[in-house]
Amino acid sequence: METLVDVADQLFPDNQTDEIQPDELLVAGKTNLVSFQEMADTDKLKQLFEVFKQKQTILEVLDQCLLAHQMKIYIGGESGKQELDDCSIITAP
């Protein structure tokens, strides 16, 4: 029987064999999230993994940081992205 971590590793590998392009967003360490009690809700975790997979939402949050030209800290819904309401994000240009 596979664990949630095993399935997440298969769906979202951290170590991709393809070469990463300089303008490509790399999201790593996603499987570490399953060790947090706050992420015990598999529906929330699945939604968050989908955000990582699509990357568009993450790029929009990073764009906000670049436009501000400073480190930004988003707690809960402060990012303006409903998918990330249960997360805290720290970004730096």
Residues 58/51, Cβ–Cβ less than 8 Å: yes
pLDDT digits (tens, 9 = 90+) for 4-26: 555 556 555 555 545 555 566 66
The 10s digit of each residue's pLDDT in 53-70 is 888 888 888 888 888 888
Output 50 or 9, whichever has higher pLDDT. Answer: 50
90: helix, coil or strand?
A: strand
**Of 38 and 67, more confident:** 67
Helix (H) or strand (E) holding 84: none
Share of the chain above pLDDT 70, in %: 69
Long-range contacts of range 49-55, CB-CB < 8 Å, 24 or more positions apart?
49/8, 49/11, 49/12, 50/83, 51/83, 51/84, 52/12, 52/27, 53/11, 53/12, 55/25, 55/27
20 is written with which tokens? 């990463």
Instruction: Please give the structure tokens belonging to residue 89.
Output: 């994000």
The residue extents of the domains of the chain are 4-8+29-91
pLDDT at 83 over 80: yes
Q: Which residue has the higher pLDDT, 35 or 83?
A: 83
